[in-house]
A and B are shown apart, each in its own frame.
Chain A
Amino acid sequence: DTGVSQNPRHKITKRGQNVTFRCDPISEHNRLYWYRQTLGQGPEFLTYFQNEAQLEKSRLLSDRFSAERPKGSFSTLEIQRTEQGDSAMYLCASSSNREKNTEAFFGQGTRLTVV
Chain B
Amino acid sequence: AQKITQTQPGMFVQEKEAVTLDCTYDTSDPSYGLFWYKQPSSGEMIFLIYQGSYDQQNATEGRYSLNFQKARKSANLVISASQLGDSAMYFCAMREDTDKLIFGTGTRLQVFP
A-to-B contact residues, CB < 8 Å: 31, 33, 35, 40-45, 48, 50, 55-56, 89, 91, 93, 95, 98, 100-101, 103-109, 111
Contacts and interface: CB of A to CB of B under 8 A. Distances in A.
A100 B42 contact: no
Majority-rule SS of A interface residues: strand
A50 B35 CA distance: 21
Contact of B33 (A31, A35, A55, A101): A101
B105 A45 contact: no
Interface of B: 4, 31-33, 35, 37, 42-47, 50, 52, 91, 93, 95, 98-106
Contacts, number: 62
A100 B31 contact: yes
Given A106-B44, A111-B43, A42 B105 contact: yes
B99 A56 contact: yes
Contacts of B98: 56
